[in-house]
Structure 1
Amino acid sequence: MRSIVNQDWRGAVVRRLLLLVSACLLLGFITGEYAWVLACGLAIHLGWTLSQLLRLHKWLREHKTDEPPPDGYGLWGEVFDSIYHLQRRNQKARGRLQAVIDRVQESTAALKDAVVMLDSQGNLEWWNRAAETLLGLKTPQDSGQQLANLVRDPRFKDYFERGNYADALEIPSPINDRRRLQFNITRYGNREHLLLVRDVTRLYQLEQMRKDFVANVSHELRTPLTVIAGYLETLLDNVEAVNPRWLRALQQMQQQGARMQTLLNDLLLLAKLEATDYPSDNQPVAADLMLLSIKNDAQALSGDQLHRISLEADPHLKLKGSEAELRSAFSNLVFNAVKYTPAGGDIRIRWWSDEKGAHLSVSDTGMGIEAKHVPRLTERFYRVDSSRASNTGGTGLGLAIVKHVLLRHRGNLEISSVPGKGSTFTCHFAPAQVVQRAR
């Protein structure tokens, strides 16, 4: 197509030049001055061509949007007409694109969820009306601002800088503490970010009602359970005065009562962990000494099963947080390894650090866990095998407690397991939680 157009233009130019030369030769034949007439004709043609070029240059430099090119005739008339048709096609294409953009903006403006476009540095580029309601953004003064400067919550800053957006973030609204927002970030284009913000206040209130109910019921059950356990202990202490037929029943009642007390204690601990986002006592904890104490307790728990438990801990590495909560989480992992590892098995505990932060791993040579169960292990009361839980006396809350403790200490839990070969539970903590002791 382009070659045909070029041939037409070349043919038109050649024809016009031949016509000009023929006219000059004819005039030269009449006047007898071939050279002067030809030179004057070519000079006039060159001047006219330069004037048309100047008109085109001026129009390109000074024309307003959608202003048509100047009129012309001859070859330059065709040039100006071609430019005009290109301009019209571009106008139609821009109109179609603008209609699509307007439609997208209208649809996003109608959303109840906030939509915010950010560049690679987290600067605001565009947002819909819901973002102004939920986040308090203002048009146009907030354009180009860092979103972290407007959403002043350290958890959002950590979430954005971490770069791992697989899980959503829930924090209070920056303009209304009673409103709860859920943040989801998706990367696109040249490392740009699309932020979706939902109002999950109702879901959050329902979740709080559930937590309060569980906490209140657990607290109310402790008193009657303590009374029952006390009377059972008194009866068993005076076993001689008890009918022998009731001895086994009393022992089973005491065993199940102790199990219920453990369950209630775990539920109350979970309620306490969920009540706040960060531990109140955020002090450096000597993790190596804590792990040594947990190792000794695990060895006592192992008893005659003779597990081989090894500990490799960096003595110069401390972790900021609550010692009681960290002890609860770490001991849960180690005691689980003892419970689910056959007699004579190996359990390895490691505590180390690198450029990504601090890490604790607990590896065992137990029965392992199938891959389909791994994503749900930290759910409350989730059990791979209910018979295993009843045999080991577990409540199904241990890993849920571990998960919440790690979340409160800016950490996460990684689980890898091979059925028949064993499992490894690894806790990863952010560098901000790590304190290096002087060597």
Structure 2
Amino acid sequence: MKRNLFWALFGPQFIILLACILSLAAYAWRGNRRAVSAGWLHVLESQASLAARLVLDGNGALKSPADLEALCAQLFRETGQRVTVVAPDGRVMADSEARSESMLLHADRPEILDALRTGTGHSERFSTTLRQMMHYVARPVAGPAGMPVAVVRVAVARQAFDAPFRRSMRFFSLLLTLIVVSSVGLSYFFSRRVTRPVRAMLAGLRRIGAGDLAHRLPHPRIHHLSALTHAINETGERLEQQVRQLADERALRESILAGMREGVLALDRERRIVLVNQAARNLLQLGTRPVEGETLDLAVPCAELLALADAAATDPAPLAADIRFHGPRQQPIQFWAGASRWCGADGSHDGLLMILSDLTHLRRLEQVRRDFVANVSHELRTPVTSIKGFAETLLDTAPADEATRRRFLQIILKQTAQLETILSDMLLLARLEDAGSELAVEPVDVRRLIGQSCELCESRAAAHQVTLKQETPEAFTFPGHAHLLEQALVNLIDNAIKYGGAGRTVTVRAAARNQTLRLTVQDQGPGIDPAQSERIFERFYRLDAGRSRDRGGSGLGLAVVKHVVRVHHGTASFENLPAGGCAFHIDLPVGLPPAEPQT
């Protein structure tokens, strides 16, 4: 491109300049040659006319041959030109450079014939006498009677004739060469002066086209190119502002889409995916693979979603539907999908916009609420029924003996305590799940925490013939809520006492490792079925509902443990031991302060 641009400007200039100079040279050469020839002819004609008068004597008669020979020799010496006197019949009467007797007849010479016929003869031909090209001019000599008595011919060698022409042409050639070199140099300079800024402009435009919109073209000295550069720079500035504005709008759009909890899916007329945000990817289980450009039926094999898209494409009103979808991970998902048509800048229908809202968690919460209401109703029904039944019995018919009445009252008291336990645990769970409540943090001594928890369970352990064993570090404190952690340990110890079996040992230990404190409650019972591991921390879930209720459990103990640990940024887990028994673990990050409760 660089060479083409230069030759596009310099080439035509050089050709035109060369053609003009060559034309001028040809014209000058011809003109100069004509001028030199005309000058020589004029000189020769003048000399021929002078010689024609000199060959006559005072009486107008032709001089003698000897006088003519002397005259020719004298003229040759003075002018350097050959002079010949020829008789009308062609005989050579005298010659300045040859003997007349040895010369042939000249009656057939063109210049002699023209001089006798017209008065002046010209000829340029090869001289057989001198063996070179000669230029001849002849004039007739009139006698007293007016008739030609001789012809005087003056000749000069062609070499002498061309010498002045060659000298003038050498000077002209030198001058012409200087003009050519100067003109070509100036043309080259001005071509470079134009092409250099044009190449700079081209390089700058390529940089701008490659994405460097902040680049500006330098202003050349040429006015028109400077104006063009100024216009290009202004266009570049406007383009940079527009691109920056589009980039900001795109970043804002992507931020909005990325921050939306709802999934956004845009389709073109052919149902190809144009845009999909991360929420839609997660909901439709698309992963990280690029789906832009794929059709909806290939990317998301969901018949209900495809049916909604087909219906929305023909209906100008927005449509919506609840959709159940089993994705590649075979996890059932339920979501709400709204579909409406979107139009381009010209107002034409260009595709569909679909908004997806995950209903899976909401449906799960609704199911949890229904299960919770059912479980609470079921858990409360038994003690309330017992209390009501025994109270009505006492009111309707008094027992025959004091022992029966007392046993009825003890049953009522036990069921009342069961109700109190259930309500207390429910209130504690509500407080832990309340995001607005604040957690009082204080330094907690691990040995004291485990000691007080075991002390609270001593009477129950003694009743079940269970030994409580403590394994604690020498001295260790961490930030936490002492009462809640004590409640969690008491629930775990109480479960271990109830399910560990009589005559067994329940071990409570604490160990710190890698900025984590692990509290463990280990029993020697039968362990827990692994199939029930996922539900062990659910509310009101019982491994053996009948036995648990007989042992006085509320069904909320492990749920309380899970929520207490969660507000301390910890985790709760359990494991069946190879030697038998089960161990529940509470892992607390002692390097982080507890946060507010989370639901």
What's the TM-score once normalised by structure 1's chain length? 0.47
- Give 1 or 2 for the bigger CA radius of gyration: 2
Q: Which has the higher contact order (CA 8 A, sep 6+)?
A: 1
